[in-house]
Structure 1
């Protein structure tokens, strides 16, 4: 079986989005010897300021790819990137303004419409350069997998399906294209994308329930979650210090790292905790410090910058508690993210901080299966003391035994192993 995977994010690029189809490919090849996998991507593999950073762990998995096609940069994309670099300071300032944008901010909404329109134009540029590259290729495929985001892989797969009508096209969505944060025109454009461009797909997959997609009539939909690679699991180390560790991205006020710093500060003031610290490993140091300072708890936070994934996993090994941050509201219902699957294999207590106005969130219902606790901002009066108690109990256990333990629902966790997920994909494409 010849499989083509069209994806911007795949090994060796260091990004959570790169893990999904790298790992599915790995276990498809391991279990089914007749599978041949070709990758089509536009990732930069050279040195320079535009080159992507490599993930050393994913780099090892590249041996599963029989062919690896990298689309050269077209003159249009080179021009786009030059203009983008020149406008980068202004774009960052605009993004900061948008994060704090209120519903009545018409001027900022128009700017965001233009910003998203420019990003969509990049998808069109990437699509055209990929199709130009494919003119030189004569290979045919039994299965074509395209994965969003960004959107250009689906545009490429749509054209390939027209030429190879007997191929099984699996259109995969790691995220919804139409997001609750999109302004009206962008939302309508993104919302009709799936129905317009994926109508000839043999199946559409998505990563979680509650996923917003405008479904084409007659195309089967199936949930295929993200997961973890059991081969990357590392034995948990006894913590040498009581660290609450977050290795991920902050999304402005939607991320609640500050409230955890406050809890540590309050516990230290009460004498219940003596040497605890919240450690943030990510690219948003200043944002983390700002949130901690809001509670005068900046002394309880240590930032170490963005780490390679292998170093982030090592930091998780030494943690006393792993921290995850997310949000939920009427338009967005949070479920497990790629970071949570990574945490599942770490075998450490997990503290999940959920901001937003929706109570009884998915994490609050299932954290017990992972041996953790979920704090919901909308239930602060009752949830905050419970969060402090969770931290204090783990601290006392660490002080008494030198380690922290968890009780988990093992069958629940194992369903998210990429070994099992790959088999579900295999069943799908063979049916």
Structure 2
């Protein structure tokens, strides 16, 4: 059985989609003659925790750990809330930022390149070099963000004759929040040089979207494989549909992820139709920025809003299955065209209609069309959006609202792991 070393920052009990990708790969890799060894920090500072994910770790898997210096825990002495939101990627618009947040962003962007976990790199290279030599490891995988993890792979590649696969769950310098880090010109150049070096030195590259692959192909000639996120088969005893007409969003709604036109459309429907107003609920599960809550209330939806907060992954799956419509929102910018949220695939598996709002030429639109799982709208489409929501509501009233999604099996975690295993066996 081929042994592969996987280097990741996020691992249970970390919560959120970042941890689930490689947790699921590790869960199934042995079925394809791959023995995974996982390397993680011993003292991580996770913004989200989900203890339920610990149950999915294979019982006898080898997990290597090493302590790291965590600047976020130090900064938390001054402002735990600010550092948690920044490490989660929740960055408010500049005009809404306090002096402290501006300062923390400047420090994060210019003194911690590529990110705050940079101090883990050199000790990890030394520690893993010994392990690689003693255990005859010839293949390593790094997954980012944080992209400092890729620098561990780069260092190991330079010291040993091995195959290094760099997995990008998100882009590096083209990701939306990169511009908000208040980078100096010198710091921006450093980021781009690091990114280019990683892309050119890695043996193979994996991306989670087609757009990111196209962006990277302009920088490197190394092989790039798209392996999206996916869904795991979930069979609760019974998930009963909500009696109300619930439109649910599961996951963080950051400041930039604020579809004001959607809130306005929903506000209009509430005012125009007393029956819709009586039945409608907007359910937001996860971290929601104050700016988004303000926009929703300003549109007259305060009485229809349910803020649930972060829940465990099994609970999130139940909410997805019971909701009438599932809402998917991405920041409206060119940089986010290649972001395919992991929850999209769980939404499709839940067999509930997906209402997606995001940038033009968004990769999500392609997947929704291919699978017939829902409808995509850009941020300018108000009339079409209103028509679609009303159509959903009419179907709901007839007890006929459902998703006819098809051809989603290739996005199952097991099938995606098979695709990864085929790459590893090459």
Q: For residues 220 and 14 of structure 1, what CA distance do their matches in structure 2 show?
A: 31
TM-superposed CA distance for 1:170, in Å, is 0.8
Whether 1:40 and 2:33 are equivalent positions in the alignment is no
Report the CA distance shift for 1:396/1:314 in structure 2 as closer, same or farther (over 3 A). Answer: same
C-alpha contact 2:355 2:376 (8 A) present in aligned 1: yes
Report the CA distance shift for 1:113/1:42 in structure 2 as closer, same or farther (over 3 A). Answer: same
Q: Which residue of 101, 107, 112 maps to 2:94? A: 101
Whether 1:114 and 2:110 are equivalent positions in the alignment is no
TM-superposed CA distance for 1:370, in Å, is 3.4
Whether 1:237 and 2:240 are equivalent positions in the alignment is yes
Aligned to 1:418: 413
Paired residue secondary structure (1:244)? strand
Whether 1:219 and 2:211 are equivalent positions in the alignment is no
Aligned to 2:136: 140
Aligned to 2:386: 388
C-alpha contact 2:47 2:84 (8 A) present in aligned 1: no
Q: How does 1:61-76 map to 2 (within 5 A)?
A: 61-63=56-58, 66-73=61-68
C-alpha contact 1:6 1:145 (8 A) present in aligned 2: yes
RMSD: 3.3
Q: For residues 156 and 321 of structure 2, what CA distance do their matches in structure 1 show?
A: 44
Specify every segment of 5 or more residues in structure 2 that has no aligned partner in the other structure, as ranges: 96-100
Q: Which residue of 142, 151, 154 maps to 1:155? A: 151
Whether 1:341 and 2:340 are equivalent positions in the alignment is no
Report the CA distance shift for 1:22/1:210 in structure 2 as closer, same or farther (over 3 A). Answer: same
C-alpha contact 2:254 2:292 (8 A) present in aligned 1: no
Report the CA distance shift for 1:364/1:93 in structure 2 as closer, same or farther (over 3 A). Answer: closer
C-alpha contact 1:8 1:43 (8 A) present in aligned 2: no
Q: How does 1:299-310 map to 2 (within 5 A)?
A: 299-310=303-314
C-alpha contact 2:249 2:328 (8 A) present in aligned 1: yes
Normalized against structure 2, the TM-score is what?
Answer: 0.83
TM-superposed CA distance for 1:327, in Å, is 2.6
C-alpha contact 1:254 1:326 (8 A) present in aligned 2: yes
Aligned to 1:193: 194
Normalized against structure 1, the TM-score is what?
Answer: 0.83
Paired residue secondary structure (2:225)? strand
Specify every segment of 5 or more residues in structure 1 that has no aligned partner in the other structure, as ranges: 103-107
Q: For residues 42 and 339 of structure 2, what CA distance do their matches in structure 1 show?
A: 29
Aligned to 1:105: none
